[in-house]
Amino acid sequence: MTSYIEQYKAKSGEGVTLHTWTDVQGRKEQNFYITGVSGTSVASWFRDMLHTKHLDDIVIFPTNPSEFYA
């Protein structure tokens, strides 16, 4: 099992959507999404999920998705 996080521009056009999931034998399981305005705090429940999955913490929503991968 491997866990992943990705982010992309929110469908509404404002903000960023964070998406985390766990790959279990080629299937995406344990999917969680959160969308927020750039520069605001990421909810603690989502940060706890990142910690549980041993992924890097994201405290503040980035200005755009590419910042996370820089």
Predicted pLDDT at 70: 43
User: Of 23, 39, 41, nearest to 31 (Cα)?
Assistant: 23
pLDDT digits (tens, 9 = 90+) for 3-55: 988 888 888 777 888 999 999 998 999 999 999 998 999 999 999 999 999 99
CA 4 to chain centroid, in Å, comes to: 9
How far apart CA 58 and CA 61 sit, in angstroms, is 7
* pTM for this model (two decimals): 0.80
Q: Is the pLDDT of residue 68 over 60?
A: no
DSSP 41: B
Predicted pLDDT at 67: 52
How far apart CA 34 and CA 30 sit, in angstroms, is 13
